[in-house]
Amino acid sequence: MNQVRVRFAPSPTGYLHVGGARTALFNYLYAKHHHGVFVLRIEDTDLARSTEASTQAILDSMKYLGLDWDEGPEKGGSYGPYFQTERLELYREYAAKLLAMGRAYECFCTPEELDQIRKEAVEHGRDPKYDGRCRSLTEAQRQELIRQGRKSVIRFKANYDGTTLVDDLIRGQVVFDNAQLDDFVIIKSDGMPTYNFAVVIDDALMKITHVIRGEDHLSNTPKQIQIYEALGFAVPQFAHIPMILGPDRTRLSKRHGATSVGQFQEEGYLAEAMVNYLALLGWSYDDAQTLFSKAELIEKFSLAKVSKNPAVFDIAKLQWMNGVYIRELSLDDLYDRALPLLQEWGFVPEEISPELECKVKAVLKVLQERIKLLSDLKESSYYFFQDEVRYDEKAVRKVLFKEGAEEILSSLLPELLSVKDYTQENLEPIFHKAQEQRQCKLADVIQPVRVAVTGTNVSPGIYDVLAILGRARTCQRIKDALALIKNRQEG
């Protein structure tokens, strides 16, 4: 087999959707598995909607996921340029070839005439497609239409006879009746190519061997194969991957929550977890293995194991998987990933002293097992870095305002003030002593302190929390909690 060359060709009209990211990933894995080439091409011919910001967002998302392209923007390559707006002369050249061959023609029909053609077709029970009325214009008729100031498009002269066979690597043989095709537009009146034309020229000239894309493009394939054949290009192998659905089994969209890769990155999903999860949307290696490193995915990926059925995006499973990956990070790695967020939230300054680095790592160590997203750190770690505690009203009512809580905090305060080094070895006896004196559960002693110092009744182990907070902050928060209790009693 010739060297595998695949491509991912997004339109820069918005952020990179997880569906697009999954397509990019499957192309990347297929290329790497076969020691081939992964091309990134930007299809920016929709001038009204394409933006540089969207292009940059797509590139950033690809980099975040680690989907390094071999040819394309910022990389170059032998088959560029890799932006369609820089390839317009190529499209015009091949459109002219089709015109000269008699496989394309100018169409001067107005939008109103096209609407009328569709209406009449529907009224007579026919497919609402173009009826080919400009197929056989004489040169005199053509010149008269030009003299009238009519704008023209270029239409491909489709072959209506027989069938077009798509030998899909996922779906098997799919047969299309050519009679269902129409003479579709390949060059619009503004000179810009349509998708079905530009993609063929680009894939052919870039020597793409395998076109791996969403199943929504399957219906375009017979049109594209006719263009390949008309121009004498080799037809690539096609593989159409299943749709991604939301939990309600409708097409995944914004109403289901985050759908762009950038949103997931901002919410604290690790790239490794995203890649692992996206790979499982429509592909599986076996029934047992769920967690895959990128190297394992490259080794094991094959189109033969891609399902024909739609994949359901399960945010709960993604969050679970992300939590697994977070727990497997080394503390240094977790620190490197979390620090920018802690700085963004104003928890720590830009310049980090060795002492503060130790504190941050201590916080991350006690929280690592408890978070599913890096963004969870915003709520679960703030009280380690900020002076003010945000009390959870339910926890305050249930724990701080409970009978005996004031007495427990009052008796513990002098003990905690006298401890020099806040270590488990020094702190644990204080709590056990209070438990024995009151003949209560240890939790009855710990919970008032936990709510006082963290604002909530759920936190890492209390000895770890106090050790990180230190004596001054711990004791001040207990004093504040006692004042809160007293104010309620007086109020």
Element (H or E) spanning 332, and its range? Answer: helix 331-344
How many angstroms from the chain centroid is the CA of residue 223? 30
Instruction: Please say whether the dihedral angle defined by the alpha carbons of residues 203, 204, 206 and 212, taken in this order, is positive or negative.
Output: positive
Instruction: State how far the alpha carbon of 41 is from the alpha carbons of 44, 53, 68, 268, 353, in Å.
Output: 9, 16, 13, 28, 44
The CA R_g of the chain, rounded to the nearest whole Å, is: 32
Cα gap 414→429, rounded to integer Å: 14
Angle separating helix axes 442-454 and 462-490, nearest 10 degrees: 80
AA letter at 84 = Q
Q: Phi first, then psi: give them for residue 39, nearest 5 degrees.
A: -105, 135
> CA angle 463-489-457, nearest 5°?
25
Task: Say which residues have a Cβ less than 8 Å from residue 172's Cβ, sequence separation at least 6.
Answer: none
Q: Using DSSP bridges, classify how beta strands 37-40 and 5-8 pair: parallel, antiparallel or unpaired.
A: parallel
The DSSP annotation for 267-285 comes to: TT--HHHHHHHHHTSSB-S
State the Cα–Cα distance between residues 169 and 201, nearest whole angstrom. 22
* Token pair in block for residue 295: 């190297």
Give the residue numbers annotated as catalytic, written as ranges. 254
Q: What would the DSSP string read from start to end of 361-420? A: HHHHHHHTTT-SSGGGHHHHHHHHH-SS----HHHIIIIITSTTHHHHHHHHHHHHHH-S
* Contact predicate 21/263, CB 8 Å: no
